[in-house]
C-alpha cells in the first residue's frame, strides 16, 4: 500500500468514504472502529497506563508525513514516541531533489548507544525501523534493538525495509544488503512492498500467492506485504502472512501520488497488534485507517497525507475493506 493509484468511490452524504463490504469477516467489524479491543478514554485514545512507548528509527522530512513524521499516528493513539533520525530531507524525494543531511557515522552510533543505555528503555514496547541513510547505520540500529529487547523481552521489532519500489532499488545495494542481513534477522514483523519482498528473497513475486510463499521464506514471524495486486478489479491488497495463515485485505485503488502510506500502515498495524488485536483484526483496521486517510487527503487535492486533519480516521476508521484468507503451501524459512 506504499503507493496506490486509480479511482476511489466518492463519499456518501454522511461523510463516510464509500467502500466495499467486509466479505466473510464483515460481521466482525470487530471494533473496526479502533481495529482492536483496547479500553479508550473519552477522547478516543488508549488509557495512558496501557500504552507502551515506541522507538522510531527512520528518515525525517521538514515537510510531509513520511518516515518519522508518520509517528504522529502512535502519538494520536496514546503512545509516546522516541525518534532517532537516520537522515534529514527537505521533503520526500518523490517531490524532487533536495538537500540531504546525513549524520556522521560516529555521531549516529554514539546517539544509538546513548539510547541503549537510557534508564527509560524498559518502557519501550516496540521498535520500528524504516529508511536508512547509509548501510553503516544498520549495525547501530541492530545494537539498539538488542538493547531494547534485553530491557523488555516482550518488546516487538518491526522492520520496514524501505529499499525500493516499482521493480527496482532506490537505495545503494550495500544499504539493501545491510537491511536484509543485519536487521531482518532480528525482526518480529516486516512490512515490505512487492518489489522489496522480491529483492530480499531473490524470487519472482507478482501476485498474492507468490507473495505469500516469499513472505514465509523471509524469516520474521509476521510479514505484511503491501502493494499486492488485488484479487478484484480496481483493488489493491495488503497481505499478512504467518507460519499458519495468509490473510489479504483489499481496498479500492486511489488516484494519487501521495507518499507515506507504507509508513503509516506499518505504524497502525503495530499499534493494533500491541493492543492485543488478532492478526486479522489488526490487518483490517490498519488497512481501513490508512486507506481512509489516503482517500480523504487525495479528495482534498493534497500532495501529502493529512494526518492531523484526518486523525479521527486513525482511531476509528469508517472504511470497510474486503478480507479473505488464502490457501497457500509452505515455503522454507530463511535462516
- Closest by CA to 80, choosing from 141, 125, 34, is 125
Instruction: Please check whether residue 239 lies inside any domain of the structure.
Output: yes
pLDDT > 50? residue 295: yes
Interval 21-44: pLDDT, tens: 333 333 333 334 345 555 444 344
Distance of CA 183 to the CA centre of its chain: 16
Read off φ and ψ for residue 319, nearest 5 degrees. Answer: -70, 145
- The residues facing 85 across adjacent strands are 58
> How is 79-104 classified by DSSP, letter by letter?
--EEEEEEEEESS-GGG----EEPPP
Instruction: Please check whether residue 320 lies inside any domain of the structure.
Output: yes
Contact 73, 45 (CB under 8 A): no
Interval 101-157: pLDDT, tens: 999 999 999 999 999 999 999 999 999 999 999 999 999 999 999 999 999 999 999
Provide the domain limits for residue 109: 26-37+45-325
Instruction: Please check whether residue 191 lies inside any domain of the structure.
Output: yes
pLDDT > 80? residue 79: yes
Q: What is the pLDDT of residue 333?
A: 53
pTM beyond 0.95, yes or no: no
For residues 182-188, average pLDDT: 98
Count other Cβ atoms within 10 Å, centred on residue 27: 7
Q: What is the pLDDT of residue 166?
A: 87
CA distance 38 to 162: 30
CA distance 238 to 217: 17
pLDDT > 70? residue 220: yes
pLDDT > 70? residue 326: yes
For residues 303-312, average pLDDT: 93
Show the cell assigned to 37. Answer: 479491543
- Sign of the alpha-carbon torsion through 205, 206, 212, 215: positive
Mean pLDDT of the chain: 86
- What is the residue whose three cell numbers read 481512509? 292
Instruction: Please check whether residue 6 lies inside any domain of the structure.
Output: no
Interval 49-78: pLDDT, tens: 356 999 999 999 999 999 999 999 999 999
CATH code where residue 150 lies: 3.40.1190.20
Instruction: Please check whether residue 3 lies inside any domain of the structure.
Output: no
Instruction: Please check whether residue 304 lies inside any domain of the structure.
Output: yes
> How is 196-245 classified by DSSP, letter by letter?
HHHHHHTS---SHHHHHHHHHHH-SSEEEEEEEEPSSTTEEEEEEE-SS-
Instruction: Please check whether residue 333 lies inside any domain of the structure.
Output: no
- What is the residue whose three cell numbers read 488485536? 277
Query: How many domains does the structure of the chain reveal?
Result: 1
Indicate the pLDDT class of residue 231, thresholds 50, 70 and 90: confident
Q: Which comes out higher in pLDDT, residue 229 or 93?
A: 229
Count other Cβ atoms within 10 Å, centred on residue 185: 13
Q: Which comes out higher in pLDDT, residue 220 or 95?
A: 220
pLDDT > 90? residue 330: no
CA distance 121 to 197: 31
β 156-159/189-190 pair status: parallel
> How is 283-310 classified by DSSP, letter by letter?
HHHHHHHHHHHHHHHHHTT-SS--TTTT
Instruction: Please check whether residue 17 lies inside any domain of the structure.
Output: no
Amino acid at each position: 500500500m506504499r503507493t496506490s493509484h486509480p479511482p476511489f468511490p466518492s463519499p456518501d452524504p454522511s461523510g463516510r468514504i464509500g467502500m466495499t463490504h467486509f466479505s466473510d469477516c464483515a460481521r466482525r467489524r470487530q471494533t473496526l472502529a479502533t481495529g482492536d479491543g483496547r479500553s479508550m478514554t473519552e477522547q478516543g485514545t488508549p488509557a495512558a497506563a496501557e500504552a507502551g512507548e515506541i522507538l522510531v528509527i527512520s528518515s525525517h522530512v521538514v515537510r510531509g508525513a513520511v518516515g518519522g513524521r508518520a509517528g504522529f499516528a502512535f502519538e494520536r493513539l496514546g503512545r509516546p514516541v522516541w525518534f532517532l533520525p537516520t537522515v534529514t530531507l527537505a521533503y520526500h524525494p518523490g517531490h524532487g531533489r533536495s538537500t540531504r543531511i546525513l549524520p556522521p557515522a560516529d555521531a549516529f552510533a554514539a546517539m544509538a548507544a546513548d539510547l541503549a543505555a537510557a534508564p527509560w528503555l524498559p518502557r519501550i514496547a516496540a521498535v520500528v525501523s524504516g529508511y536508512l541513510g547509509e548501510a553503516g547505520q544498520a549495525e547501530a540500529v541492530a545494537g539498539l534493538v538488542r538493547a531494547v529487547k534485553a530491557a523488555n523481552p516482550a518488546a516487538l521489532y518491526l522492520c520496514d525495509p524501505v529499499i525500493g519500489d516499482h521493480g527496482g532499488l532506490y537505495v545503494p545495494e550495500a544499504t539493501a544488503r545491510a537491511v536484509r542481513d543485519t536487521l531482518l534477522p532480528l525482526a518480529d514483523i516486516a512490512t515490505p512492498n512487492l518489489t522489496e519482498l522480491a529483492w530480499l528473497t531473490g524470487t519472482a513475486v507478482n501476485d498474492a500467492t507468490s507473495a505469500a510463499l516469499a513472505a514465509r521464506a523471509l524469516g520474521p514471524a509476521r510479514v505484511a506485504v503491501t502493494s499486492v495486486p488485488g484479487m478484484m478489479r480496481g483493488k489493491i491488497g495488503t497481505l499478512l502472512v504467518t507460519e499458519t495463515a495468509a490473510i489479504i485485505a483489499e481496498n479500492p485503488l486511489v488516484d494519487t501520488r501521495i507518499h507515506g502510506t507504507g509508513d503509516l500502515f506499518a505504524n497502525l498495524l503495530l499499534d493494533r497488534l500491541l493492543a492485543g488485536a488478532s492478526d486479522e483484526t489488526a490487518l483490517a483496521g490498519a488497512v481501513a485507517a490508512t486507506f481512509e486517510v489516503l482517500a480523504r487527503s487525495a479528495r482534498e487535492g493534497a500532495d501529502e497525507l493529512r494526518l492531523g486533519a484526518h486523525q479521527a480516521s486513525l482511531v476509528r476508521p469508517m472504511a470497510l475493506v474486503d478480507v479473505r484468507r488464502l490457501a497457500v503451501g509452505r515455503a522454507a524459512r530463511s535462516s
